[in-house]
Amino acid sequence: MGRAPCCEKTGMKKGPWSLEEDQILVSFVLQHGHSNWRALPKQAGLLRCGKSCRLRWVNYLRPDLKRGNFTKEEEDTIINLHGMLGNRWSLIAARLPGRTDNEIKNVWHTHLKKRLKDYQPTELLKPGNKKISNKSNPESSTSESEHDPYSCSLSRSSSTSDISSATLMGSEFENKKETESREGNGIEDCYSFEDFVAEIDESFWDEALYNNGQNSEFGSMDPEISFEVKGFDELLPQQIRFGPAGNLNDFAQSTDDDGMESWYDMLARTGGDLKLQGL
DNA sequence: AACCCAGCCAACCGCTTTGTA
DNA sequence: CTACAAAGCGGTTGGCTGGGT
């Protein structure tokens, strides 16, 4: 596929931005907005391509940006969200006001990844622990090694059904504790949230819809198709319904590729305390 | 003082997604 | 429906800086 370069490169300036350029861009955007990045540099009199202008604005010049070091809370948030979302920097940034995806990505690679390594216990890396390929989230396979297995792990608590009952946990330290204690209780398998969601695929819903009927209410769902998500002690316990109609079909819809976002969203919002038990 | 090296971070690149004619 | 342009995103690069020798 591919596409033409975003701009005519000849004559375009590259490299670090000067103070003057910054001032021109800021005053232009504040006056005229940025409805068209491609046309902006020409209108503003900048020898930069639109893409470069956009990046400079988004990552550095935006007035609502927070400058300075990340707080411990922000770092913890990033770790937790990364556990749930993977390398979806823009989604993580959306939940950290004043921080950019680029900034978060840099912090992750320079500080947090290292910090997490120190907590990397060996248990979850045992070959026996089930890993399921994630077609909905291709990133998870490529960045598996980067992905903190603790920040969001899932352990099964029953073997009667594939999705019979499961517990998803959030914060890294809670996870570690929880996982270890659960493993001590004979629970063998641990998953990342992505792995778990990946398992709720078309065939899962085909089967569920076949067994329960398209308009089944949650209440009439097979009681074994239920799971709970807990952890993130700082979060409020909360019950959530999928979709206004609350039928099985809506629920299934929410797990397709488009709906995946709402799952992640919901988990991030509730901090992982998502409970779905025969709603 | 000069050099080396590792860490940091702004900026770039190339691809995907979204919007529109 | 298709093609194309623009925006958005994540991975990578390269220059700067500070600490160590």
Locus of tokens 């903190």: A148
Q: What is the pTM of this model?
A: 0.54
Per-residue model confidence (pLDDT) at position A123: 34
Residue A233 DSSP code: T
Per-residue model confidence (pLDDT) at position A59: 86
Bases in strand C with any atom closer than 7 Å to a protein CB:
5-12, 15-16
- The tens digit of pLDDT for each residue in A208-223 reads 445 544 444 333 333 2
A6 CA, B8 C1': Å apart: 28
Per-residue model confidence (pLDDT) at position A71: 84
A168 CA, B18 C1': Å apart: 33
Bases in strand B with any atom closer than 7 Å to a protein CB:
7-17
User: Taking the C1' atom of C9, which residue's CA lies nearest?
Assistant: A90
Q: Name the CATH architecture for the domain at A72-117.
A: Orthogonal Bundle (1.10)
A113 CA, C21 C1': Å apart: 29
User: Taking the C1' atom of B6, which residue's CA lies nearest?
Assistant: A110
CB atoms within 10 A of CB A38: 13
Per-residue model confidence (pLDDT) at position A23: 87
Task: Specify whether the CB–CB gap between A121 and A181 falls below 8 A.
Answer: no
Helix or strand run (H / E) with residue A168: strand A166-169
Closest CA to A196 of A94, A81, A76, A83: A83
Per-residue model confidence (pLDDT) at position A78: 86
Closest CA to A221 of A273, A161, A172: A161
- Low-confidence stretches of chain A (pLDDT beneath 50): 1-9, 121-206, 208-209, 212-262, 270-279
Per-residue model confidence (pLDDT) at position A118: 59
Which protein residues have a C-beta closer than 7 A to any atom of strand C?
Answer: A 3-4, 6, 15-16, 34-39, 50-51, 54-55, 87-91, 101-102, 105-106, 109, 139, 142-143
Domain boundaries, chain A: 19-61, 72-117, 123-276
